[in-house]
Chains A and B, each alone.
Chain A
Amino acid sequence: MFQEQKIKEIARQIRRDIVTMIHAAGSGHPGGSLSAADLLATLYFTDQFRCDPSSPNWAERDRFILSKGHTAPVIYSVLARRGFFPPEELLTLRRFGSRLQGHPKKDATPGLDCSSGSLGQGLSIANGIAFALQRRGSDARVYCLMGDGELQEGQAWEAAMFAPQHGLDNICALVDYNNVQLDGRVDEIKEVQPLREKWEAFRWNVIETDGHDVSAIYSAYQAARACKGRPTVILAQCVKGKGVSYMENSAKWHGTAPNDEEYAQAMAELEVEA
């Protein structure tokens, strides 16, 4: 089931959560979290992702690995809105004693499938899960969200060689391609393009999509699911900081919290119908 208007509204709610919790925490990573909001809204709030909030460790659930762990706010919001824990808890982000650690901690937060924070590792983990699921004949799928800057890590490409080698078609990698990393533009620091050619050379089925068009994203998930015998990567063209005008395409907002004034402006922008 896919209802475009509903997903857009959820994505906007997720963006409001992201800005609100980072503002409350006084630190965090809004840029990459906002960038991925549409990808995750379309995954978790349609028929594309199988999970049960009342049974977070259900063996036959689909898995989601947030390889770019610094964007924890986006998955926290998704899990809260999906019913894994109360949304009020989002305001405890990064606080002492909170279940919402600065970077994802599996055992702390219901619905998280793995801890993360050290970049470049997620796809290896996703591969291992996918391999184990395939080995026992489960039809569960594994999704792994990576940043584009993260592809500068060598391990990402070690992992990219693994999945096709073992014919894993139950894995779907997502690349949030927004061309901005902490220190600046990806293409000025260490260019990761051409991404389609790279992933194709690594024997992946490559799907390119607009990372903010929820309808296109939904189609990409469907196409990934339909691809058999090899893994799929969805290259999502995204805008870092998407939805908050002054954050868009800005490295400054990779890891900065908005002040009260900036927060008010962001929330005003996110109230407007998309």
Chain B
Amino acid sequence: MKDTPMRDGYGKALLELSRLHEDVMVLDADVAKSTRSEWVKQENPSYFLDCGISEQDMVGTAAGMALAGLTPFVSTYGVFLAGRAWDQIRNTVCYNHLNVKLAGAHGGISVGPDGATHQALEDVALMRTLPGMTVVVPCDAIETRKATLALYDHPGPCFIRFGREAVPVITDEDTPFVLGKNRLVCDGSDMVFLANGYLVHQAMRAAEQLSAEGISARVVNVHTVKPLDREDVIRHASETGAVVTCEEHQVIGGLGSAVCETLSESVCVPVERIGVQDSFGESGTPEELIDKYGLGVDSLCAAARRAVQRKTSR
């Protein structure tokens, strides 16, 4: 299957949901073409509402819709959804525990040429701290579709985050997706990559490369950052004794933080965190940026070696 943007999976799921459920309402803030919510507008316009360039108002409107029984899917760029409308999400959506689904598009540095203002690198951290919020970061277009469908069946506030670029499709229709449950991608015994989003694919490539060096790397897809599948994270950390977290996000506050929080309360193992190191991004091709900001396969392999080294030198 050719490389596909994850947002295509989101659009596909919205189409299916709007065909099946009268309570579904898809909202966007003037980026419907980008988020693929436009697909619903084209096929089923009464289920679509463009709120204009008004993210805070859009979230509040969605909250009102949820209060009156609809299930709104709110789509826009993750930077502006999680960032600009954070207070609305906190004090209205989460405090009322409303059934609002938030979709943050253009997550991560691979957004590329648009530059730093449009590359969501803090969205997972912002959403993860909110009481009652579910946070999902799928790895490809197929998983994004499944995750979006799963969120419809999961009452309460949810945030799903996906990227802009066409990326490899590494799951298929039969690959299981269970909200809140990690998925073992490939087994290994020396260390484990706990990854989500596009970085699952990077971790798979790194595992192959490490295998040639004699390091047996395990890859686990931690698509649900909140609630974190704690027991599974602890099990992989215990069994392999060395952890590398991988995400297209700041190392502060996202998956790496969630894993460290969990492990610091349970098992003592070395953890290396792959992610953006407390900086803004910039313009460039996705490949250039992935490389420069330490999200490339070489960086993952180096982190794995460090983690294994720290384990054996203790």
Binding site for B on A (CB under 8 A): 59, 63, 105-107, 113-118, 121, 123-133, 135-136, 154-155, 158-159, 161-162
Q: B88–A121 contact, CB under 8 A?
A: yes
Main secondary structure on B side of the interface with A? helix
At the interface, yes or no: B61 with Cβ under 8 Å from chain A? Answer: yes
At the interface, yes or no: B278 with Cβ under 8 Å from chain A? Answer: no
Known: A124-B58, A129-B65, A158-B56. 11 other contacts (CB 8 A): A115-B91, A117-B91, A121-B88, A125-B61, A131-B49, A132-B70, A135-B70, A136-B69, A155-B54, A155-B56, A155-B57
Within 8 A of A (CB), among B41-96: 49, 51-52, 54, 56-70, 72, 87-88, 90-92, 95-96
What are 12 A-B pairs at a CB distance below 8 A?
Answer: A107-B97, A118-B88, A124-B57, A124-B58, A127-B57, A129-B64, A131-B61, A132-B25, A158-B54, A159-B60, A161-B54, A162-B51
Main secondary structure on A side of the interface with B? helix
- Selected contact of A113 from candidates B67, B70, B92, CB within 8 Å: B67
- In the assembly, what is the distance between CA of A114 and CA of B57, in Å? 16
* Closest A-B pairs by Cβ, 3 of them: A128-B64, A124-B60, A132-B68
A107-B97, A113-B67, A115-B96 in contact; A128/B61 too (CB < 8 A)?
Answer: yes
Q: A162–B96 contact, CB under 8 A?
A: no
Q: B64–A126 contact, CB under 8 A?
A: yes
Closest Cβ of chain B: how far from A108's Cβ, in Å?
11
Q: A162–B91 contact, CB under 8 A?
A: no
- In the assembly, what is the distance between CA of A117 and CA of B43, in Å? 39
Q: A125–B91 contact, CB under 8 A?
A: no
Q: A107–B96 contact, CB under 8 A?
A: yes
- In the assembly, what is the distance between CA of A105 and CA of B95, in Å? 8
Q: B88–A114 contact, CB under 8 A?
A: no
- In the assembly, what is the distance between CA of A124 and CA of B67, in Å? 12
Q: Which residues of A contact B49 (CB under 8 A)?
A: 131
Q: B91–A128 contact, CB under 8 A?
A: no
- In the assembly, what is the distance between CA of A121 and CA of B49, in Å? 19
Q: A128–B67 contact, CB under 8 A?
A: yes
Q: Which residues of B contact A121 (CB under 8 A)?
A: 56, 60, 88, 91-92
- Selected contact of B63 from candidates A124, A136, A155, CB within 8 Å: A124
Least CB separation from B59: chain A residue: A124
Q: Which residues of A contact B96 (CB under 8 A)?
A: 106-107, 114-115
Q: B60–A155 contact, CB under 8 A?
A: yes
Q: Which residues of A contact B67 (CB under 8 A)?
A: 63, 113-114, 125, 128-129, 132
Closest Cβ of chain A: how far from B28's Cβ, in Å?
14
Q: Which residues of B contact A131 (CB under 8 A)?
A: 49, 61, 64-65
Q: B92–A127 contact, CB under 8 A?
A: no
Q: Which residues of B contact A127 (CB under 8 A)?
A: 57, 60-61, 64
Closest Cβ of chain A: how far from B306's Cβ, in Å?
44
Within 8 A of A (CB), among B235-285: none
Interface string of B23-53 (1 = CB under 8 A from A): 0010000000000000000000000010110
Most buried by A among B54, B58, B61: B61
- Selected contact of B92 from candidates A115, A130, A136, A154, CB within 8 Å: A115
Q: A128–B65 contact, CB under 8 A?
A: yes
Q: Which residues of B contact A158 (CB under 8 A)?
A: 52, 54, 56-57
Q: Which residues of A contact B65 (CB under 8 A)?
A: 128-129, 131-132
- In the assembly, what is the distance between CA of A268 and CA of B73, in Å? 53
Q: Which residues of B contact A130 (CB under 8 A)?
A: 64
Q: A159–B57 contact, CB under 8 A?
A: yes
